[in-house]
Structure 1
Amino acid sequence: MSLLPVADALARLLGRASTLQRQEMVGLHEATGRVLASDVSARLTHPAFDNSAMDGYALRHADIEQIGSELTVIGQSAAGHGFSGSVGPGQAVRIFTGAPVPPGADTVLIQEDADVIAEGRIRTTFAVARGRHIRPKGQDFVLGDSVLRAGESLDFGRLTVAAGMNHAELPVLCRPKIAILATGDELRSPGSMPGPDQIIASNTYGVAALARDNGAEIIDLGIVGDNSDAISHAVGRAVSAKADILVTLGGASVGDHDLVQATLLACGMTLDFWRIAMRPGKPLMVGTLGAMHVLGLPGNPVSSLVCSLLFLEPLTRHLAGLRPRDRFADAILATPLAANDKRQDYIRATLSIDEKGRLLAGPFSRQDSSMMQVFAKADCLIVRPPQAPAIDAGAPCEVMILRPASGRS
């Protein structure tokens, strides 16, 4: 079987996926980052009344057409405590920001533009236009206005206007459920003491964190050994939980101890593809089991994380109704790189900013896919296309951003 190019693999994966239509109501504090399931309309008009944008005096413009006009202050209007009367000729009401503009007044003169000449008397010192410093009723939105649209992701601005429209809860798309299963006789949980031939299972935590960051709900299926019955039982748990994606870690190839693919096929999985022209991460398995997507990630930690970035993140965001996350950017290479072979390479590198303000990518000298520490220190992955020729330091390159560049070179 020939190796599938990364772009083709991603297109095939997303081509089988549709945005989830399940929805739920959540409170505003729980709605950050969620995607609206339907339009949201205003339940009231805002502002509900003409109000002052500044501290000053509410008055009739006809009374202050000349600088030096004098008026009698007949009361005050504060936020939450409006003036109960009306403003007549030669009168003014002391007003504060957000307070209702009393009937009869059509302009606000800010306090800096008035001199207090006696108790209850002011004189204007500046000419102001009619209607100045008044926020009219309904300036922001009116009852029934459809302000937020289905498919929008809820951020701090949209949540603010949702609250202002008098919504305590919002209809949002349900988070995709991602079940994660680690397989292998050699694996032990973090915090335990591994035996002489065992290692600590680390992949689950990085993959889960990335999935949560992209709007997913995680179902941790734990660790199972290299046993078809145990794997089959765990897959059944994912199906029963109605997971949208089953992610398996390790055992997806076709070696004597790689039982995941064969077991999933026995469970009814339709295999789409499982070998990708990439490094690290060649033995990636993609298929479907009923309505559930299946991603079989490699067992090596870095391979698992790179595949998650390239395939699990886009799939999760697609199901969640979130826009694709663009991690790619142009950079300058800090050190030379040798020619590449037939697989697309993802090289761990640091990222800094040079004296010209350009991103500078510095590859690590060691790129073994089992080295978690190097990945943890990496700011980006340098993307090397198949058959790319050798390039020198200073040459342009494409990078996949993991975290922002820190400092200058």
Structure 2
Amino acid sequence: KKGVGFIYPWALRPKLSQRTDDFDVYDYGEDKEEWTEDDVYEYFGTTVSESWVSRHDPKWNTDWQPVTFARTNSHNLDVTAGDIFGDTPFTDSNDPYPLLAHSSYSDTWPVKITETGTDPFWPGWWAEDYIDSLPGCSGSRKDSDCWQEIPGRHISDNDVYMEFDDRWAHQGNIVDTNDEYEQTGYPMGLRVMAEAHSYGVSFAEDILFVTVRVRNESGDWCAFERHSSGSEVPVNDDEGNQLCGSAMVMPDGTVLNRGKGFNYEKVYLGFYMDADVVTLDTYGNNFHSNDDDFMEYYWERFYTHNDSMLISMAMVYDFDGNSAGATDIGIVAAQLLDTPLATQPVDLDDDGFDDIYPGEPLKMTDWHWFDWYNRPGVVTRESNTGCHAGSPGCPQAINREEIQYKLMAGDTTNLSEKERSWYFHTDNPDLDMDIDLN
């Protein structure tokens, strides 16, 4: 469906030489300089940075790992989970783990050195106010020019901030006895800054909001956001200067493409959700009936206050409303509220009519359901017993990266029969005609 074409430059990379206990070593040729003409290059193909395949405990080999200096830039190592939450049902006072920065607990904030000593600082971002008198404001609450950050005011009753990047993405690849990768995941040099928000008001107390910002640090960079007009809006630091930095340093001490990085294309952001509906009641009794968990995608455009709104939502619920005797069961759902904007018309269902127009948020453009035992990365269908892909010593699909990318991109080219039946369906699953696959 997506077609076949030339390779992208970031998919042609120096070949693995050997895996050490600390990092993977690549063949940088006779000059031993990375990303030069005499390197031994190999085509790696597509890659997906994720943290859900690994079943190691602890998960040391996931693609996403804390950023460098995270323990001082987003934590306070002098405070533990036991200190803050030791009197709750979720842990005890002896819990030694450090906490991410919580807005309502300033003891968890990292500290910075000042002229008078050290001061805690909030590493995340602040709430924004709608101000219709701002320069460039069109008077619409959807216009980013109408919002201004208010330092010192948090977004929700409790915000939690974290950062991670994909520089360790090679760790998830299995290396065979010939020092060759069986899977070919690789770092793209992406940094993710995420802030979770929770509210105590009744209409939002069961909703977890997460703001995610992704920055390409594969080369030397200066941060910006994309305006609805397509122009770049600089992201400034506290002193009003554009936020800039050097290329992300890989585990072997090198930088991608000699610090020039890559201007990535065809990038998709996705997430995996697995909800057991329903699992337990208030008293801990198990009511789960796995066979009738039902997944559904809901998309709608509606108009309110003379404004067009888009909803794209993935839902998981019990199909017949009765899970091993439990009734009055809720729905677990996820939707994207604020996303990158469309740069061209998008026809989601291939009916010949555009569903999303340039300048509108893309929201959730693709959705797939699958049985966990058939999840992307398995070699064959699994069961409750035996080896599970991602567990130590268990095999994984050689095309693990490719099939995950195909799910997010809606790419139906060159699918095996199993992949087609496991991951790609139509609005009529009894037939699943090839021409209607999405």
Q: TM-score, normalised by structure 1?
A: 0.27
Task: Compare the two structures and name the one with the higher helix fraction.
Answer: 1
The higher radius of gyration belongs to: 1
Identify the structure with bigger relative contact order (alpha carbons < 8 Å, sequence gap 6+): 1
Task: Compare the two structures and name the one with the higher strand fraction.
Answer: 1
Q: TM-score, normalised by structure 2?
A: 0.26
